Every structure is written in C-alpha cells, then in structure tokens.
Chains A and B, each alone.
Chain A
Amino acid sequence: MRITEERVRYVADLAQLRLTGEEITRMARELDETLGHIEKLNELDTTGVEPMTQVLFAAGETATLREDVEGSTLSNETALANAPNAGAGFFKVPLVIER
C-alpha cells in the first residue's frame, strides 16, 4: 500500500476537503490503485526532457500583452450576486480573528 488512511487524511487536510470515514477508506484503496497505474511513468527515461507545461504556438514574445486601456469590469453588485452571504459590498465569512 502506497496510500494509508493516515495519508488520505493528510492530503484531505491540504485540499480543505472533509471526507467521511467511509470515504477515507474507499479513497485509500482507489488512490492506491490509480497511483499503481501511474507508476508506469517510471519505466520511461526522461533525463533531459523539457517538461511540457503548456501547448505553445508561434507568436512574438510580447504578443499576448495588450495595450493598457480601460475596459469594463463586473460591477460590485454583479460580482456579489452569487455570494452565499454578502453585505456592505463585501463577501461575508465567519469570524477570522477573535476579538
């Protein structure tokens, strides 16, 4: 087993994801199986191969930069319209700093 339930709990913490006990057990098994398949990558010698982070296309070095011109943006009201809780023009969240 590459993946223990303890490891699953650690990764879930990193991902800010609450899992049930049943999910943790299942996830350990499934992640282990998937990682087992992924180990296949180690069969390939990739020494000196530049990682491909993005599909690149031919363009001038600054081609993707645009002129610095004013454009329209979402209004405060529109930006907050999907908020589960908002007020006074802000997103509201539970208390972060105790008084």
Chain B
Amino acid sequence: MDIKTLTIDSVRGGLATKQYSARELATAALRHAETENPATNAYLHFSAERAEQSAARVDEKLARGEDPGPLAGVPIGVKDVILVQGERNTCGSKMLEKYVAPYDATAIQRIEAAGGVIIGKLNCDEFAMGSSNENSAFGPVRNPVDLSRVPGGSSGGSAAAVAQGTAVVSLGSDTGGSIRQPASFCGVVGVTPTYGRVSRYGLVAFASSLDHIGPFARNVSDAARLLQVMAGRDPMDATSAFAPVPDYVAAMDGKVKGMKIGLPKEYFNGLSSETGDLVRRGVSQLESLGCEVQEVSMPNTEYAIAAYYVICTAEASSNLARYDGVRYTSRAANPTSLNDMYRATRGEGFGDECKRRIMLGTYVLSAGYYDAYYKKAQQVRALIARDFANAFQQVDALIAPVSPFPAFKLGEKLADPVQMYLSDIYTITGSLAGVPCMSVPCGKTSEGLPVGMQILTNHFEEASMFRLAGAFEQASVGQ
C-alpha cells in the first residue's frame, strides 16, 4: 500500500480484500507519519495506543462478519482544539501545554463509532487565532508543497497532514476561514459546513457564534463521507441543528447542468492576480459542464472584516476568561494574591495574537463602547447574512476566491497583524452568514503553488455544494 495516496474507499477495499488488517494499517500509518512529520511539524503528538484500540475493534468486527462502519480503518488526524479523551489538547498554546482531555468531542465519538482510527493531534495557531500557523507555541507548520512557505491557518497542521500524506483525512475548525484558507494553500479539499451542522461539543471555544468543525481530504467524496459521519443534531450542543442529514455522496451524481452559479462582483473586482485567473478558469469549467453563470451583488462585503474582528474578539475575550490559573493546568509561580495569580498566569500563558484579541474584545465590550462596536458589528452581520439570502434567491451556489494570494513565505506577514486580518476577506463573509462553504483545488500558479476555489451554498445545502465540487473535480482530473 502507498499510505500517501490512500482514500476512504481504497482503505475499505484494502480491508475487504485482506491486503492489510486495520491494525497493520494503523501501525504503518503511524510509522509513516512519525518519520515524515519533522519536515512539516504538522502533528504535535501521536495517539498510538488509542489508534491500536480503534483498529483492533475494526478487525474484530471484520472477523465476525459485521459492518465495521463507513470510516473503517481510516487513519485520521485531529486539530489540537478538538478533545480526544486521554490525549493532550494544547490548542497550540503554552497555556494548555499539559492539558489532557477529560472527554471525547461528539465528532470524535461519531468518527470512532464509524470505525475511524485517530492517530494524532495536529498543530494550529494558538486557540485557532491566525491565518498562517505561525502563532503556535510549538513552532510553525511548513507547507508540504513548499517547505519555505506557510500552510495557512489556523488549521495549518490539518491541511498539511492531508497534503503530505500523513493522514488520509483530518479534522479542522473554522471561525473565519481556518479550514478553507489552509486547504487552498496546501492544495486539498476543506469544508466548513453550515453553522450548527456538526456539534461543537468538545471543540475548545474561540468565538462560539462562528466556530465550526469540518473535514479536510484529498478528494471531495472523502470530505463528504467524513462530514456525513459527524453531521446531525447533538443534545450536548444546543446550537446544533435538527435538519435531517441527506446522503452527501449520493448527491455527487454529476448532474450540475442548469445549476445557477453566482459570481459576487465585489469579490472579483480588483482580483487580477494569478489567483483570480485560476478561479475564473474554474468558473469557465463549470460553465462548460452546463452551469448557468451570472453576476450577483453582495454590497456589504467590504464591511465584513471590521464586523468579524469585533464579534470574534468580543466572544474570544469572554471564552478565554476561563484560563485563569485555577482549572486548566497552568498557574504562575508564587502568586501574591488571587488577582495576581490570574494576571500573571494569563500574561505568561498567552501568546501575542491571543493577547491582542483578548484586548480588542475586552475593549469593544467595555462600558460605553458596547453599542458603538459590538451591537453595530452584529447589525452589520445581519446585513451580510441578508446579502447571502438575497443572492440565494437568484442562484443555487456562489463561486469566490478563497484567499487573495497563494501560500506566502514564513515570516513574510507576521509583522503586520492588520494586513494578516485583511487577507481573510473572502472567507469571513460565509462564516458570518453561517452558510456552508468549501475550498476545492482549482490549479497551480506559475510557481507551482496550489489555489483553491470557494463554493458556497445556502444553509443546509451541503449536498448541492458537494454535487458541484464533485463534478468540478471530475472535470479537472479529466483535463
């Protein structure tokens, strides 16, 4: 077997024809990942014992002639913000360097019940705050396509592992683009489902009204299969949705003729780079498959970043208040009082970007500023959601770029936080509206750097998003 090119389907085949057992695969996948990992620093730690146990359960089921589940034996990496019981969960932060998860996230329970084999936890920007994975307390991740470049962020490890071939699929989290942007930078598929489609129980909170768990994969159908297993109502997350979960893979029937595609003019105006050319070429491909393309307008797009950085920092400042030296492993030495303990622990434990966001969030929520910033941003969020609602009355799906540029060099944008924030422009709008969106590879620049094309559909319309992405992928492979 070639571990680097395995898919969920090929693993099923390999197990069925007894080319390998789930345990043999888990051992080989772990050995491969451990050997390859130093090049990228994608994994922070491995869960060998847990993987062995999950794989053994799959082998036992196979031996008894039972269905081992849709993810049987598949080696999976998990972003280190999603709890896997008994494994460390650092969130890429010094604050949680020693934190061990006391329970499983719902997504993890469902994946393992479906036969998935979790082999390790993946590096990310601290508390999922960043667009380059350079904000990890445990060192940056390098892009396997070009090791001098960033993999994107914040789910940089999740994208890099799938691109590098050290995981078949992986889990990431997305608050303002943290799945789609690294997927685009690393040339893999990354999906942010509808807000509430996947339970957030066991996902360490960053900005609760914006946080999503979603899959990374090397092809569209693997991403669809992984989402299928995780999606659906969970009583442990009051914001998880009741909507029925359709069969995503069955929806990938290639029937995209007549689908109406909207191009938001605000996203393409001024996008003249190679990135723009590749996305436009992707749109032409969809047209040649019979999709009907039209321009749409989403007039409030230019206000999205400002609204997002008010809302996400406000929520983060509140969510990160819990790291105070009492419950979560870290405490500053020799505190002179309770307040001194809080302040010293937080001052020592958080990195620059976390501090920046806690400060901005605390500022916009402070007395006298709430209406001017937080309430205003929530009103603008409503206007942006309205832009989407209007667009989806005219079209079935929207196509947009993911990032204004491909993967940049390590260190290139670190010095300017505002510039880094501005690069999230194309992904933040979908996050604010809570609609499903994904990045699917649409080609490479002259330097060989991958570029992703973003597909967005209306709430709970993941099936049509996958139909379109699947047809596009097929057409691209055929070229």
Contact = CB atoms under 8 A, between A and B. Distances in A.
A11 B208 CA distance: 22
Given A18-B346, A37-B305, A74-B102, 4 more contacts: A3-B363, A34-B421, A53-B378, A93-B326
Contacts of B433: 55
Interface of A: 3, 7-8, 11-12, 14-20, 23, 27, 30-31, 33-35, 37-44, 46, 49-55, 57-59, 63-64, 66, 74, 78-79, 81-85, 91, 93-96
A44 B360 contact: no
B245 interface: no
Interface in B330-380: 330-331, 335-344, 346-348, 350, 355-356, 358-360, 362-364, 366, 373, 375-380
A31 B209 contact: no
Interface of B: 98-100, 102-103, 194-196, 209, 235, 238-239, 241-243, 300, 302-303, 305-307, 309-310, 317, 321, 324-331, 335-344, 346-348, 350, 355-356, 358-360, 362-364, 366, 373, 375-383, 385, 417-418, 421-422, 433-434, 459-460
A44 B303 contact: yes
6 contacts: A18-B344, A40-B303, A46-B379, A66-B235, A93-B326, A93-B338
A55 B209 CA distance: 7
A51 B82 CA distance: 30
Given A11-B363, A57-B241, A41 B338 contact: no
A27 B338 contact: no
A7 B235 CA distance: 42
Q: Identify which of A8, A94, A95 gathers the most chain B CB atoms within 10 Å of its CB.
A: A94
Given A38-B310, A53-B378, A84-B325, A63 B303 contact: no
Contact of A16 (B99, B342, B417, B460): B342
A56 to B, nearest CB: 9
Contacts of A64: 238
A27 B433 CA distance: 30
Q: Identify which of A38, A39, A64 gathers the most chain B CB atoms within 10 Å of its CB.
A: A38
Given A18-B343, A38-B306, A52 B385 contact: yes
Contacts of A59: 241-242
A60 B471 CA distance: 36
Contacts of A34: 309, 360, 417-418, 421
Contact of B347 (A3, A18, A31, A37): A18
Given A41-B376, A52-B381, A54-B209, A23 B241 contact: no
A38 B434 contact: no
B383 A44 contact: yes
A84 B310 contact: no
A55 B388 CA distance: 13
Contacts of B340: 94
B307 A17 contact: no
Contact of B359 (A8, A20, A43, A85): A8
